[in-house]
Structure 1
């Protein structure tokens, strides 16, 4: 609101010269009021209260001095246009309003001192003798409140008739309101003291083109009567009849309070723009209006009728509108700075007038129609809310621990994530999703940090920590918390608080040695085998790494991801001096010292590395000088398909014997816990391999070797080429009317086992319940 200094000056009539005040564009001009008696020497009258009221209803007042003059200080008022009233106190019964005449104004007048223009008023009073007078003013009540405001225009052209008391019969007199809206009846119009009259008003002939909104004449009506405690400021006309009944007093009586207010074109659209803090689309207690929002009123085709901006409390209004259809549009591209990125909320979420009306997509309301029976629509409110504040990012497995996310590095689900304010208060908690992502939505403006609960990580990453405090990874390894970020007007979304987690390095390895005494255990004097290629395979058979044994026979795979792996060797690649050697007998004793290589596959058992099992250092492999040997597996072939399946266990503790062609026992052993057996250090020859079926478990006492009731397979030949056959499998099946064909060893050509010259091929090996596709290498016999 601009600061306005207003001086009200009533200038003494009869040629009195009064100094004027300097005026500027933003300063109201001077206004001085002088109240004088109309009889005698026109002496000034002291003690008369003079009140100047601005269009908002605020007023300033002062009392006339000994000379009847007063200058009002209206610095606190605004508007430039005022209603000025002189009020005779009850303590002055001999002072009465005087009839209006040349040089004298009535006790209620309207002045315009905007732009520095001066106004000069002389108001006359008398002693209540002489002629009687009746009249005053007809005005256009712009705001429809029934009170004459300084900025409301006069209404000329209104026909005013003076009728008898009952309002019937021919008019005694008739007047038409002048340019100032005024009219007067006096003795010349047959107005008599102590008489009753009806004054009738007719605005049907007025010109409305200069009125606000240019309302149609047929839409005019009389305003609310008796709306002010001051009779001179309100309307006296009965809206239903257009008449006023008045009684004229004794001689000298002057009644200048018979005013008439006319309203029309009071069509109004508006209401409020507010900050919808909770984004529910409703005006809730405590939610403030937003000042300075541009608002336009438009026709259905988008033509702008008028524009405005919201007031200090978010209010706006378009008034004095012609009948018709309109829409209200809110320009959210030009919001005040503190609301710069606010957006319109969802429309019509509740009761009209308490919710938001505009479509967020267009910024405009639906059309509303104003007409004679619907002159106001104050439901065109608009709620503005900030975009949803959001912190969202990802926790990933930083495999290479470089702090940078790569497509092949997976997200980590199930990580607890805490949102804290800058004072450490926890305000929200979530966990990462399947892709490692997390989000905190609809958070208030402020400063936050994200903390990852490293003490409660999912079991499969329980010992992981932030890998690197750099690049994409925002969490400090020491605290598990990110740097603070500020969310608000200039930054509604932050996606920078990603964190890479990694576990301690996984390692698989041990040693390959030459088992000179063939006891299957590493003895202090037995050397390592250097230069032997070693491969690491994934659970799906894919390559996970390769290395070569060192000078001491040791090898290691470290820094590998969590998972299940298998170490495999290529017997064809045995280094010089060991070519043609064989694997030592597996699982001969202490797991830290014995050999673990499967004789047939040349692979070690599958092992898993990860949380709580980061290092496997018992993956030894022993080599022995080549000798003749036979072996493989005794198992329950439940489906009689001749091949061991994952759900078909080995048979432990059964004696396996080797017999020559004469039936003489050459060697024997017992199957291990997994059903495997090895007959070692055999002479060259052709043999039968026999399982002692009398030693089967009770529940399998009747199981048989298909087609071999004595449990013997053969003949099997070893030495000198080949020296070993490690494919002599013995499958036991349950007795049935139709026994499937014998499931014996895998044979190709003379003797059992793999013939000389075989190259690497792929097979499925079942280890500890896990299926591996592994590469096999067959010893080259010599």
Structure 2
């Protein structure tokens, strides 16, 4: 028993049963009887059939009857020789044939069924699904001799399977001779008979592609057909996916096709080539093949027939091929040495010029893409020729492109000569036809529209070229101030103007202008031989370098005729021969920096330029410079402040390409001293001079390094008139040498106190009285002003992780003085005597991270003022306005008492 099965969700339906004899003809109905069973499909399951014997289930196979007697229904199934009204209800059929058979005869039974109906989006529900059935036959009637075949000799049933597939499609149609060469199948066009046609099939899966080729020929009417072709349909929900992904298609495969046609054999009039492709708007009557005889890539789909709603494979009957005997055109690109636009015998051809051919439609529009492209080459030993063949009748434009024709330096050397000069003794076949510019540089030119007739060869389309000269150079930024272009920095933004020089006189108007490119280069092309000058106009603020420096023309500046403001200039006259290039007409310029700004009377002594404070004029200001890492300062310039207190030093070198530093010294008026430096956060409103005086120069600023072209207008000097001042600086001693080096930096926020000894007994620590307290500013400076004559000492509070550096290691203005260690992180300098009106800016303290220099015990023993600072609980500490707040008598025993004291025993407000 063979089980009947299917994985289809819907049943196929019976259409008809046909019985054929060995000769393929239907057997007469008198000898054929068909039995139909309409039992439910469940009756044919293996489980149901196992309940019956073979004779009970299939009596027409397993029992023997007499000729002409109909079989009756068995106990297992109901059989009827009358077909039901609805054949879709039939679940099994039996066929009895009583026609005698001779030796070698056979019977063919054809069962025609209709596959289940599915919509397009249900294709994947039945594609590749199978139907498993069974068929068998047996001789059950007596033979002519009356013999009966035993049951044991009757054949077993055979399994029959079928698989449902997608509908098949087809591709065809027609090959023709395009008599009028219009690319369309007209009534007068003739078919191409017996032409070889190939279908190239590409099967694409996720694992790769497989290509096969099928061949046929056109029939007597010029038609061809490839049918039974696999179609494509995308899976439901993948319609918007990647159309080239085979996993998005039913069956996981894409079928692609391309039709390839042979060329018809050559005739008496020439060789055939494909006609125009895709002409007109009707795909049924155009030609699909390209110049190689191939169609576009095709894919067939599955569509629903609107009349029957059945799914059908696409049939593309529009893939046609038209053929013509072609025309041709050409001819020549040459050097017009005498620039007359005529091809003279001694003028050579030019190889390597690119030539393109474009089609022109009936409206006069030139096609976007060229139909063909070539380069000029030698023909019969002569250079400069081109040729386009296999052309159809129509309208064309030839394009000449000389952008690839350059000299050994990669620069252009040709232009187009004057077109259409042929006349009289010089016919148009000997002139130049390149007249219509395509690009802005006139290196691509086109002819007028050319009308080409059927089978015409037109060799009259030429292009003449002329040699031109060029002139260029380089604008450079001289950032190391040596006048030559050794840094290779382009000076972008430089404007160039080219002037012709006639009889040693420069013309008033330039013949061309340009701006140097991002590389600093410029180039003037298409120049005739002659004399020229180039004007360099540098960006604002730049000044021209000195010309002809260094002896190397490739590296110097050639700008000799320089304007008074140094911002522009002309080269010397440049003599330019024919067919030459002059590329070293260079010009350099540079920016200069400046240092300045202001001297004022700091009335409130706060180190900041406040409103209402007066400028100081006629102060002598010196500018010093050192170079190359030298420690020697040299004077660069001297000036004085004007009536508004300002000064400035111009034309200064600066930037990373030069090794120079500056400082400014202010020779202040007698009786005045420098205010506290670097007060506040505004660098444009503070004072920059230090508190020590350089003999012969004045009070110096810190070291100044200016950027390239930078104008540093922040170097100011504040002046104060004071009865006495003490200061100066707390710094981080990075190299631990106890000296204020240039690379060291100041520390902000360090507490500093000033103490006074009224008795003059500096060894008695109990005699020191606090007279001022402050903190260092952002740059590490501090200051006590308005001091009377007497003994003082300065104390610095240096807390972890810092400690003091080495003391007394050099010049008093640059060493560290915080020597005596007290409690609470305080370090005291030695006592000193301040004369009346004294200005002592030498009391500094250097600190280091971790352990530092040598300290000493406080002189005189006992408890220092610093100890009382640490032990006094609940005291609020103020920055004292110094001694001017207290009468001097209050500092001496018996000379009066202070107005009040706090619980700690110190003066307070």
| TM tier relative to shorter chain | 0.3 to 0.5
Give the TM-score, by structure 2 length.
0.31
For normalisation by structure 1, the TM-score amounts to: 0.35
